[in-house]
Structure 1
Amino acid sequence: MDQSAHDPQAPAAGPSMPQLRLDQLLEELQEQVKRVRGTQNRVHTLLDAVLAIGSDLDLDVVLHQIVESAVQLVDCRYGALGVVGDEGGIKQFITVGVDDETIARIGHYPLGEGILGLLIRKPHPLRLSVLSDHPDSVGFPPGHPPMTTFLGTPVQVRDRIFGNLYLTEKNGGAQFDAEDEAVLRTLGAAAGVAIDNARLYDDARRRERWLAASSELTRTLLSGADPAEVLRSFTATVRELARADLVTLAVPVGAAGNLVIEAADGTDADRLQGLALPDGTSLAAKVFSSGETIVSTSLSQDPRAEAESASALELGPAFLIPLGTPERVRGVLQVANQQGGPAFPDATVEMIAGFAGHAALALEIAEHRRDAEQLLVLNDRDRIARDLHDLAIQRLFASGLSLQSVLNRLTDRPEVADRVQRVVDDLDDTIKVVRSTIYALRESDRSKATGLRARLVAEVSQAAETLGFAPALRMSGLLDTDVPEDHREQLLAVLREALSNAARHAGASAVDIGVEGTDATLRLRVADNGRGIDPAATRRSGLANIATRAENLGGTFALMPNEPTGTLLEWTVPLQVDAG
């Protein structure tokens, strides 16, 4: 008989030890299954991320997708990809998790100092539990969100470090672990392949556009199109190929070779069109004289230039390429981004240099073709002149002599004699006209006086010595072809007087000159920032001369205050081009 059933002191019945062990094993198994499922989900997420970053060939899209995938895989709040430039700093910074307002408050993206610079110098994975405790930490700029945990790894493209992935603030306040690091390294390897494919595709597309643009440029030039229009199209094509904010093309004018911006495309291109560059002091002038390419990280602040073509614009990264050969530079091509914009890769500089070389060759061929056509015209003129001299004039002269011999026999018929004499006089006049025509035909177009544009540049350069600074000169329109000689002389005289007044009376530190020729008018505009018009001045003979010159040509003259300070002179006359 079981005594325990009647013994009140016996222990109560409970779960057996094997049952407790079984429950513990089941819990451990469930936890293991949970971890396996989590790992499996993360592997699937990693595969999805690899597929996502490899499914697009646009480099900017790929870079942003890489950062988004890293943030999602490692489950953190902030992520960034810093693209390393050729000089070793960060040239592009793509962020995820930071809104536009915060980015604007922080200011310029990191340049590669502190922990970010450490990963550039030592491209190995780095995990930190407290970011600020690391000896290389330099803190955060004002307005930057707080960040504690950190995980970074390099992104390598073939055998070169393309950039670094930076992740901070793991969700839930947890620390980045070894598994996070392994996942990020795997993503970085896949990102390198995707970036390489996107860059190769981008290079192929650019090369295709380059070849198409080169072919179109050659075809247009050899078809006899207007060179000015071709150059404008050329700058627009270069801006598209380089993805730049502004492209200008400066060409030499006159015997001195002063540079004038002949074509411009992009931001504020209208302000630069026709601008004369300071003689020898701008970077463009240095490129023109040396025949070597110049690359600048900040064009507006480059210490190598005493005065820059775009000094009124805040331009950042830029490069300048000579158009032509070192022995004969035909112009200077300037490609620039705005201040704070991205720098241009070496591949872009090389591509644009190749395109510029092709353009210079096409321009050379087109110029030789125009010279050959001009030579044919001149030879034809010489032949016509010889024929007129040897045939027409001789026959007219012989006819005149014959009629004069007839006059001796008409002494008894004075009315007939008068009529014959008038015919002889008409023949003499006709011979004079034919001779002047022969002289005009034998005159080469190149024997004309120096063009108006070159004379304007020379006039402004000469005035710079008196003023103590170089005035800004902008020219537009067909000034060399559509402005008659008497208008040119009057315009130069007015400009000379205006610059003299600015030097003697205005006390200005800047003078802006604009010369515009249209189908109907010729306009000169001279503005300075000096002390303005003195109301007490009574002797204004120079201004009276300027007004008289305008009236003689049927034009107008106005002198008014300039805003915010100084004087504005406007001189406008109608153009009456002799169609004959």
Structure 2
Amino acid sequence: MVDDAGRARHPLLPQLRFDELIDELVSRLDQVKAARGRVQQLLQGVLAVSGGLDLDQVLHTIIETATDLVEARYGALGVIGGERGDRLERFVTVGLGQEEIDAIGPYPTGMGLLGQLIRHPVPLRLEEIADHPASFGFPDNHPPMRAFLGVPIRVRDEVYGNLYLTEKRGGAAFDADDEALLTALAAAAGVAIDNARLYDEARRRQRWMEATTELTQGLLSGAETLDVLTVLIERVRALAGADLVAVALPDPSGTSLTVQVACGAGAERLRGLTIPVAGSALGEAYASGTARSLAGPSWSTYPAWTDAGLDAAHIAPLGAAGRSRGVLVAAKCTGKLPFDAQVVTVLSDVAAQAAVALELADRRIDAEKLALFADRDRIGRDLHDLAIQRLFAAGMTLQSVLKITEKAAVRDRVSTAVADLDDTIKVIRSTIFALSEHDSPAQLPSLRAQVLQVCQDAADALGFAPAVRFTGPVDFEVPEQAVDHTLAVTREALSNAARHADASKVEVDLATADGLLTLRIADDGVGIPEQGRRSGLANIADRAAELNGEFAIEPRAGGGSVLVWKVPLDEGDAAG
């Protein structure tokens, strides 16, 4: 065929051109359809990551959505933390089973290629991971990975973390569309993370407040301190996600810390562990009043710590420097990431609240002691002003009767009554001295208390409890070196009475007067046989001689014997 100008015409060329246009149109429609599908998938992903408030669940949803969106086999979300914001403090993975994760070892902290996005928070797309200068290989048992796509997640203009995707399905490389979709998802993820983080922080702080309120109420109600701290650390362990939480308190000298309560991994080994303040991480936090976060090598000198598999820890002092009450220690097992910044902050806050609660508890105890001492002083004054004076007046009245009576029987009975009144006055005075004692709980028991304990211990052997009487301020006037001798003599004399005297009554009288401590022990038994063994009595005599005192044993009126042991109260005289 020819046209009007005589040129040849080709009827197939317009048809071919039309087919090409149809094919191009179909291709473009397929691309539009695919793009529409991916946009729809992105919108569904945005809805998915925005639909929760639990931070852990939101993070898992984000990385799962990201891997589906760009068809990646492996994915991870790394949360940036640390004091300088230069490491990963949390790592959420998709595509690896727990056995594979355990075989690989500890989670990454932000070295190599992962750290590239921390240092330069811009999208990063690679066809081959090994070709990047920051890449230095994978640890043992790590699956092979080639294609890589990384995108930062920003929360309120700050980089919260990064999305890491590898191994696009089918072996292809990630393209610009994948990068754009992942960048859009990261923007939505930032908003979702911010909401979830605020909610999580509010909920966590509420739980912390409940725990510290429970601590304060427990201590102020009079409960035992260690019992209350045990409940607190169990709550802290659950809320902080720690494998171990413990509280170490200082000894009276302040030179060492002892783990008093612990719960979690290795708790049994750690309870009772004593750590010196000087040269230790716990001691540094205690002395400086500054919290510390540290890892396993710092614990290498404490097998109880490393044997339990513990590694990263946070140490929070219970109070400021110079007034610290101890330290709170929270730890995680080897392989786990350290505590994030929010948990560290709250751990320090809880420790500070615990210090305040312990201080309030001590003040409550001091107030109760002051009230008790004041009440004792009042009782002592009443006994002195009322009871003793009335007894003394009654004794004076009876003594006046002696002057006007002529009957011997009456005189004897009145004299006996006067003597009994004098003895009663001595007992009341001794009680007043006892009420006046304001011993510190850290001090040893008083001499009065120890003598009573010796007499109580001897009751089983004697078959009855000895009668005990104190005269004078025995707890104040008896020198320290004479206390042990006094107790030993009392114990020996009661033992002799139980074994040899066959007595039905024993009286122990300890008195201080005229610069002397006098111990008088009388029984109504068979007395001391002339030819009996006297090794115990010799020991008593030696103790008296050692303190420049004297010892005598004599018959008791009406049967039995009376042991009299006297030593000077002056320490110089007692020492010779």
Given the two structures, how large is their TM-score scaled by the length of structure 2?
0.69
Compared CA separation, residues 403 and 310, structure 1 to 2 (3 A)? farther
Give the aligned partner of residue 554 of structure 2: none
Tell me the equivalent position of 2:98. Answer: 100
Could you tell me how far apart the structure 2 residues matched to 1:152 and 1:246 are?
35
CA–CA distance in structure 2, aligned partners of residues 102 and 15 of structure 1: 65
Name the aligned partner's letter for residue 321 of structure 1: A
User: What is the CA–CA distance in structure 2 between the aligned matches of 1:448 and 1:322, rounded to whole Å?
Assistant: 24
In 2, the alpha carbon distance for the partners of 1:98 and 1:394 equals 90
TM-fit CA distance, 1:422: 3.8
1:6-21 equivalences under 5 Å are 16-21=12-17
d(CA) in 2 for partners of 1:270 and 1:397? 62
> What's 1:557 paired with?
none
Q: Residue 480 of structure 2 aligns with which residue?
A: none
Query: What SS does the aligned partner of 2:163 have?
Result: strand
Q: Secondary structure of the equivalent of 1:302?
A: helix
1:82 aligns with 2:78: yes
Instruction: Give the structure 2 partner of residue 137 of structure 1.
Output: 135
2:201 matched to 1:203? yes
Secondary structure class of the residue paired with 1:139: coil
Task: Label 1:236 to 1:101 Cα distance change in 2 as closer, same or farther (>3 A).
Answer: closer
Distance apart, 1:48 and its partner CA:
0.7
Which residue type is aligned with residue 35 of structure 2?
A: T
Contact preservation (8 Å) 2:265, 2:308:
no
The residue type equivalent to 1:85 in the other structure is G
Distance in structure 2 (CA, Å) of the matches to 1:143 and 1:217:
46
Q: Is the 8 A contact 2:130 2:137 kept in 1?
A: yes
CA distance in 1 between partners of 2:156 and 2:415 (Å): 98
Q: CA deviation at 1:124?
A: 1.9
**Alignment-derived partner of residue 493 in structure 1:** none
| TM-score computed with the length of structure 1 as normaliser | 0.69
CA displacement 1:264-286 (0-9 Å, x = unmatched): 33333343334433353432222
For residues 239 and 232 of structure 1, the distance between their equivalents in structure 2, rounded to whole angstroms, comes to 11
Q: Note the 1:148-159 alignment, pairs <5 A.
A: 148-159=146-157
Q: Equivalent residue of 1:140, what SS? A: coil
Matches within 5 A, 1:169-568: 169-256=167-254, 258-296=256-294, 298=295, 300-302=296-298, 310=305, 313-407=308-402, 412-414=407-409, 416-446=410-440, 449=443
Note if contact 1:252-1:260 (Cα within 8 Å) is conserved in structure 2: yes
Could you tell me how far apart the structure 2 residues matched to 1:410 and 1:282 are? Answer: 83
In structure 1, distance between residues paired with 2:93 and 2:231:
36
Cα separation, partners in 2 of 1:79 and 1:246, compared to 1, 3 Å: same
**SS of residue matched to 1:440:** helix
Q: Deviations over 1:522-578 (max 9, x none)?
A: xxxxxxxxxxxxxxxxxxxxxxxxxxxxxxxxxxxxxxxxxxxxxxxxxxxxxxxxx
Q: Quick one: structure 1 residues 80 and 312, their matched pair in 2 at CA, closer, same or farther if it must change by over 3 Å?
A: closer
1:221-250 residue CA offsets vs partner (Å, 9 max, x unmatched)? 333333333322333343344332222222
CA distance in 2, matches of 1:255, 1:112: 44
Residue 67 of structure 1, aligned match among 63, 68, 72: 63
* Contact persistence 1:155–1:192 (CA under 8 A): yes
For 1:448 and 1:73, locate their aligned partners in 2 and report how far apart those are by CA, in whole Å.
68
2:448 corresponds to: none
Distance in 2, Cα, partners of 1:278 & 1:368: 28
158-167 or 62-71, which deviates more? 158-167
SS in 1 for 2:250: strand
3-state SS of 1:192 partner: helix
For 2:111 and 2:232, locate their aligned partners in 1 and report how far apart those are by CA, in whole Å: 40
| Shift in Å, 1:384 | 0.7
Match of 2:557 in 1: none
Letter in 1 for 2:435: L
Q: Is the 8 A contact 1:287 1:293 kept in 2?
A: yes
Which secondary structure state, in structure 1, belongs to the residue aligned with residue 170 of structure 2? helix
- Matched residue SS, 2:319: strand
Q: Percent identity?
A: 51
> How far did residue 375 of structure 1 move?
1.1
**Is 2:255–2:278's contact at 8 Å kept on the other side of the alignment?**
no
Which residue among 42, 45, 50 is the counterpart of 1:49? 45
Measured at CA, do residues 122 and 236 of structure 1 come closer, stay the same or move farther in structure 2, by a change above 3 Å? same
Q: Secondary structure at the match of 1:259?
A: strand
Change (3 A) 1:170 1:15: farther
CA 274–402 in structure 1, closer or farther in 2 if over 3 Å, else same = farther
**Is residue 278–residue 308 contact of structure 1 (8 Å, CA) maintained in 2?**
no
CA contact (8 A) 2:154 2:161 kept: yes
The answer (yes or no) to whether the contact 2:88–2:108 under 8 Å persists in 1 is: yes
Q: What SS does the aligned partner of 1:330 have?
A: coil
Three-state SS of the structure 2 residue aligned to 1:329 is coil
Quote the residue 1:30 is aligned against: 26
CA distance in 1, matches of 2:152, 2:307: 40
- Structure (1 or 2) with the larger CA radius of gyration: 2
**Amino acid of the structure 1 residue aligned with 2:310:** L
Report the number of matched residues: 435
Answer whether contact 2:259 2:272 (CA < 8 A) is retained: yes
Deviation per CA, 1:39-69, whole angstroms, max 9, x where unpaired? Answer: 1111111111111111111122111111111
Q: Name the aligned partner's letter for residue 30 of structure 2.
A: K
Q: CA RMSD in A?
A: 2.8
- Bigger Cα displacement from structure 2, 326-335 vs 212-221: 212-221
CA distance in structure 1 between the aligned counterparts of 2:287 and 2:230, rounded to whole angstroms: 23
Runs of 4+ in 1 over 6 A off after TM superposition: none
Cα gap change, 1:15/1:428 in structure 2, threshold over 3 Å: closer, same or farther? farther
1:337 CA drift (Å): 1.9
Q: CA shift at 1:444, angstroms? A: 0.7
- C-alpha deviation, 1:104, in angstroms: 1.8
Superposed CA offset, 1:5-39 (max 9, x none): xxxxxxxxx99444444443333322222221111
Provide the secondary structure at the position in 2 that maps to 1:156. Answer: strand
8 Å contact from structure 2 (residues 288, 320) kept in 1: no
SS of corresponding position for 1:138: coil
> Hey, what does 2:564 align to over in structure 1?
none
1:141-160 CA deviation, whole Å, 9 max, x = no partner? 22221222222222222222
Q: 2-side partners of 1:154 and 1:37: how far apart?
A: 28
